[in-house]
Amino acid sequence: MEKFVVKGLEEGLQGTVKISGSKNAVLPILAACLLTKECCEIRNVPPLSDVIHMTELLRELGAQVEFSEEQERIRVRAETIESVESEYETARKMRASFLVAGALLGRCGHARLSLPGGCQIGSRPVDLHLKGFQALGAKSRQEYGFVELTAKTLKGNSIYLDFPSVGATENIMLAAVLAKGCTVIENAAEEPEICDLADFLREMGADITGDGTDAITIIGGKELHGAVHEVIPDRIEAGTFMAAAAITGGNILLENIREEHLKPVIAKLAECNVRTETVPEGLRVSRKGRLHPIQLKTMPFPGFPTDMQAPFMSLMAVAKGTSVITETVFENRFIHAGELQRMGADIKIDSRSAVIEGVETLTGTKVKATDLRAGAALILSALAAKGETEISDIYHIERGYYKIDEKLRALGAEIERKDVP
């Protein structure tokens, strides 16, 4: 086990940071590699623990996987699928392992996967994924903690999602590209990661239109071939570094970003008194003067991302005045508030809302990362706190931030990784 020891900064972060490829884009893209016998090459892949777990799962299913972490490139060849099963250990490590369901169903007509279960931020069911598969003609049966999916042939259909779930939209797209005929997913998720998956599937030969809107049309049934794809930059990692510049009163340049993916975050930062400027090399983020309080509601894209909610709570904790957050995407995503309170933040939670009274300064202490984005919020708070903060359970953070300590040190942060005996 390791922990981060972070010293509060006297001066703001300065310098340049290169944003890695998107974790949430690469996971469904790796699942898509199961749809063809040919070799696929994925570039700009962040070597994160979630990505490594996905490559292990693809190997267990029979794919040959070559991961060059140095070159941030993965090659997958799924010439034959030897197993259609995933175990509880895999699902427990990474909920996104369920994304292989659609691809296995499309390619083999059969999948038997351990149900991912809930996690710190909510119950996270997969009912919308299953309803989608059933609409395409699959039968689903749940017993002993597994869901078994079978289909003689998949047939295109119209599917209306009760909620624009990112995972369900991706899984249905993965099944629908090999289903015969036309599938329309309505009330589909519009996140940039959906468009990146659609781009990859099109590069493999699929016929998909409407991604990035709430209605995606897929004409399925064509044989797919190998493809080479470069993953989009991680908008949540970018947003986290923007928040780091904001909370420390710094001035940093972000390279390898897509500004159009960051619009909701940029808009809220402007309300917080944080300046962003587009420059030829990327995006410059800076703050002078105290952070302003804001009202924020998390929403599916193009709304404010739930994954940026915890980092923004850190900003609000030291803003001048009262801020309010409403979390509409996950039912239990305020666990980080308790840890921030230990650092001196004044936060009251009432169901899905949090009221944050900004304080002058936070103070360092021992805290625990309870999930990925909660952990990022603790690092941000620690950078702006008086004294030293020890953050334990950092494996959560490393699921989604590649070399976050090295990247922050290069910007002037004092953050050390230490072994916990």
Residues 40, 76: Cα–Cα separation, whole Å:
5
The count of chain residues that interact with ligand UD1, using the rule CB under 6 A, is 20
Query: Residues 129, 155, 396, 407: which binds ligand UD1 (CB under 6 A)?
Result: 129
Residues 319, 294: Cα–Cα separation, whole Å:
9
| Catalytic site positions | 119
The DSSP code sequence of 215-255 is EEEEEE-PPP---EEEPPB-HHHHHHHHHHHHHHT-EEEEE
Residue 302 sits in the site that holds ligand UD1 (CB under 6 A): no
Nearest to ligand UD1 of 122, 210 (CB atom): 122
Nearest to ligand UD1 of 27, 369 (CB atom): 27
Single-letter amino acid, residue 179: A
Nearest to ligand UD1 of 163, 395 (CB atom): 163
Nearest to ligand UD1 of 103, 415 (CB atom): 103
Check if the beta carbon of residue 35 is closer than 8 Å to that of residue 224.
yes
Query: Residues 1, 163, 228, 303: which binds ligand UD1 (CB under 6 A)?
Result: 163
Return the residues of window 179-218 that contact ligand UD1 according to CB under 6 A. Answer: 193
CA distances from 188 to 125, 181, 197, 402 (A): 17, 19, 13, 29
Query: Residues 165, 217, 273, 286: which binds ligand UD1 (CB under 6 A)?
Result: 165
Q: Least Å distance between CB 329 and ligand UD1?
A: 5
Spatial CB neighbours of 380, under 8 Å, sequence gap ≥ 6: 240, 243, 244, 247, 311, 314, 315
* Segment interacting with ligand UD1, rule: CB under 6 A, options 106-114, 166-174, 276-284, 381-389: 166-174
Q: What burial class does residue 278 get, using C-beta atoms within 10 Å of its C-beta: 0-12 exposed, 13-18 middle, 19+ buried?
A: exposed
Residue nearest to ligand UD1 (CB): 167
Spatial CB neighbours of 385, under 8 Å, sequence gap ≥ 6: 8, 343, 344, 361, 362, 363, 364
* Segment interacting with ligand UD1, rule: CB under 6 A, options 142-150, 161-169, 211-219, 413-421: 161-169
Residue 309 sits in the site that holds ligand UD1 (CB under 6 A): no
Q: Least Å distance between CB 109 and ligand UD1?
A: 21
Residues 188, 355: Cα–Cα separation, whole Å:
31
Nearest to ligand UD1 of 327, 390 (CB atom): 327
Residues 280, 165: Cα–Cα separation, whole Å:
35
Q: Least Å distance between CB 375 and ligand UD1?
A: 13
Strands (E), 333-419: 346-350, 353-357, 366-368, 388-392, 414-419
324-343 footprint of ligand UD1 as x/- string (CB under 6 A): -----xx-------------
Put the strands of the sheet holding 274-279 in their side by side order: 14-18, 251-255, 282-287, 274-279
Nearest to ligand UD1 of 249, 330 (CB atom): 330
Rg (CA), the chain: 21
Residue 124 sits in the site that holds ligand UD1 (CB under 6 A): yes
Residue 371 sits in the site that holds ligand UD1 (CB under 6 A): no
Residue 128 sits in the site that holds ligand UD1 (CB under 6 A): yes
Tokens of residue 68, six digits: 């060059």
Positions touching ligand UD1 (CB under 6 A) are 24, 27, 96, 122, 124-129, 163, 165-168, 193, 306-307, 329-330
